[in-house]
Amino acid sequence: MYFVESACEASLACSTCHVIVDPDYFSKLEEPKEEEEDMLDLAPALTPTSRLGCQIILDKRLEGIKFGMELLSVGRLCRHAVYQMLKKNSRHALIRMNEKKLIHLSSTKRHGDYEWHDPKSEDEVVNVTYVNRDGSETKIRGKIGDNVMYLAHRYEIEIEGACEASLACSTCHVIVDPDYFSKLEEPKEEEEDMLDLAPALTPTSRLGCQIILDKHLEGIKVTLPPITRNFYVDGHKPTPH
């Protein structure tokens, strides 16, 4: 069995079936549609002969065609495997995956109002570290029940949130420290769909709007990716509510 994923079922809404075509055959393929080009722009490990496997239809001219799998796979099957390994405290397995280059709709609380209230006692405190895009760290005293994205908005940390936590974009994408990734609830399908479209994806990527703080997450560290893609308003920056 060969694992070429296809999260969008060939609807040209993701890049998870990205393959690398042998140069001898690349020129024999039909020109890609604009929609395919758009999805390829989001694919990691892109090469000059990259195509989406769902758009390649075999004919006699392609007799003997050869494909290579992308070296960096960031589809949901891979993230699920990483989640399961970390559940078993197998950080070594994650490190080896990186070396080889393999790689809930939870309800939010009042659109960020909750995060503007300080903890009522030390028992409620959950400390969070945000690693900004310039590498600097911002340490925040959050509390049980805080949403990681809305908490960032309160302190003017540049985590976007174009869809207001409705699971319709990936602009609140964060990279979770491996020590905490397995402590999170597994993502629901809607979150997985959006993560499949996020640039700069990693095996421990999650959407910040779906991470709700509890005591198990004390000391959690999340890193902002180098880029995000806003599907709605390019250049939009989050405004605290």
pLDDT cut 90: percent of the chain above it: 50
pLDDT tens for residues 196-237? Answer: 888 889 999 999 999 999 999 999 999 999 887 664 444 445
Instruction: Look at residue 180 and tell me whether its pLDDT is greater than 80.
Output: yes
d(CA 86, CA 66): 34
Residue 172 near residue 197 (C-beta atoms within 8 A):
no
The most confident of 56-65, 186-195, 210-219, 221-230, by mean pLDDT: 210-219
Mean pLDDT of 29-45: 85
Give the model's pLDDT for residue 5. Answer: 66
CA 71 to chain centre: 17
Query: Cα–Cα distance between 212 and 113 in angstroms, integer?
Result: 14
What pLDDT sits at residue 74?
A: 47
Cβ burial, residue 21 (10 Å; 0-12/13-18/19+): buried
Backbone φ/ψ region at 133: left (φ over 0), alpha (ψ -120 to 50), beta: alpha
Return d(Cα 11, Cα 165) in angstroms, integer: 24
C-alpha 84/C-alpha 9 separation (Å) is: 25
* 79 band by pLDDT with thresholds 50, 70 and 90: low
Q: Residue 172 in contact with residue 208, Cβ under 8 Å? A: yes
Nearest to 128 by CA among 112, 114, 145: 145
